[in-house]
């Protein structure tokens, strides 16, 4: 049994819905989510810049938390730095976030798949490689949406349902005009807007995300080798509730949206020292 925490890392608030889902299924596990506010957004940075950020950030958080597993719940961080981090930390299982291309391709009838994410993720060769692997006849319609990433990060908490639906609908209509019958949410920030994507799709465009896939992969690592990385069940048995922890980087005072977002997903909030 291993009581060390599992670390979920993202450029901002995207780790919250992923961490929330994982924790809902694994309540005995200690979970620390890190939102890298100091370097947000990742999507406009080069691969080399993202790797440099991840190199420094993981130095800090590994020294603080000694995680037993690291999950990069950020598509941009994954396509840029997953291999680098696995080489840097060979003794720590590291899970990446892979866009849900496979189920979208498998179910598509028009053979046109919409992919929405950061500019770096959408432009990365891995998107087309995944499509080729699971359906070589499919065409990828990729849209980089930095304004939507920024909206989810900074404006979601104060926006109205109508405002959220409006900004999402503009993108959904672009995919509809291109005859896409599915949309893959390839930025973890967009999980905050999943209901809006579903509403705007009107049922004729399927919406896919990777939140369950990431959770299942972390669980499979916990269960390897007889479950030696699993935390003991004593916390739940004793009635003690384990609260997941959300740590935000950056020296400036936290903007007002961090607290309500952390509370929305059941996390305690702390500014990194």
- Per-residue pLDDT reduced to its tens digit, 210-248: 999 999 999 999 999 999 999 988 654 455 678 999 999
Mean pLDDT of 135-162: 94
Mean pLDDT of 152-159: 93
24-27, long-range: CB < 8 A, 24+ apart: 25/215, 25/219, 26/219, 26/222, 27/235, 27/236, 27/241, 27/242
- Per-residue pLDDT reduced to its tens digit, 20-44: 999 999 999 999 999 999 999 999 9
Is residue 120 pLDDT above 70, yes or no?
A: yes
**pTM, rounded to two decimals:** 0.93
Which domains are assigned to the chain? 6-97+211-271 (3.40.50.1860), 101-208 (3.40.50.1860)
> Please, which pLDDT band fits residue 272 given cuts at 50, 70 and 90?
confident
Name the active-site residue from 15, 33, 138, 187.
187
| Residue 144 bridge partners (DSSP) | 117
Can you give the pLDDT at residue 239?
A: 56
Is residue 134 pLDDT above 80, yes or no?
A: yes
Tell me the torsion sign for CA atoms 84, 89, 90, 93.
negative
Query: Is there a catalytic annotation at residue 15?
Result: no
Q: What is the mean pLDDT of the chain?
A: 94
Tell me the chain's radius of gyration from C-alpha atoms: 18
Mean pLDDT of 120-132: 89
Can you give the pLDDT at residue 1?
A: 84
**Phi, psi (deg, nearest 5) at residue 234:** -60, -30
Can you give the pLDDT at residue 128?
A: 85
User: How far is Cα 91 from Cα 69, in angstroms, rounded to an integer?
Assistant: 10
What proportion of the chain, given as a percentage, has pLDDT over 70? 97
Q: How many CB atoms lie within 10 A of CB 216?
A: 12
Can you give the pLDDT at residue 237?
A: 47
Query: Is there a catalytic annotation at residue 187?
Result: yes
Residue of 153, 138, 155, 198 lying closest to 43 (CA atoms): 153
Can you give the pLDDT at residue 241?
A: 79
Higher pLDDT, 10 or 236: 10
Can you give the pLDDT at residue 153?
A: 94
Can you give the pLDDT at residue 19?
A: 97
């Amino acid at each position: 049994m291993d009581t060390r925490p599992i670390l979920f890392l993202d450029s901002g608030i995207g780790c919250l819905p992923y961490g929330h889902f994982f924790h809902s299924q694994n309540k005995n596990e200690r979970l620390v989510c890190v939102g890298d506010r100091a370097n947000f957004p990742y999507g406009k940075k080069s691969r080399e810049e993202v790797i440099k950020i991840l190199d420094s950030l993981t130095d800090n958080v590994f020294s603080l938390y000694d995680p037993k597993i690291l999950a990069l719940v950020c598509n941009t961080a994954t396509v840029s730095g997953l291999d680098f981090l696995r080489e840097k930390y060979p003794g720590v299982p590291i899970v990446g976030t892979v866009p849900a291309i496979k189920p979208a391709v498998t179910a598509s009838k028009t053979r046109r798949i919409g992919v929405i994410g950061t500019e770096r993720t959408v432009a990365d060769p891995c998107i087309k490689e995944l499509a080729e692997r699971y359906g070589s006849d499919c065409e990828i319609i990729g849209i980089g949406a930095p304004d939507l990433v920024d909206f989810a990060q900074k404006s979601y908490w104060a926006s109205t349902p109508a405002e959220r639906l409006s900004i999402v609908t503009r993108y959904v209509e672009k995919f509809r005009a291109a005859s896409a019958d599915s949309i893959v949410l390839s930025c973890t920030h967009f999980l905050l807007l999943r209901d809006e994507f579903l509403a705007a799709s009107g049922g004729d465009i399927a919406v896919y995300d990777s939140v369950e896939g990431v959770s299942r992969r972390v669980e499979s690592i916990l269960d390897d080798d007889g479950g030696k990385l699993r935390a003991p069940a004593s916390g739940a048995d004793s009635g003690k509730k384990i609260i997941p922890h959300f740590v935000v980087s950056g020296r400036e005072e936290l903007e007002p949206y961090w607290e309500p977002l952390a509370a929305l997903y059941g996390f305690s909030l702390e500014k990194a020292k």
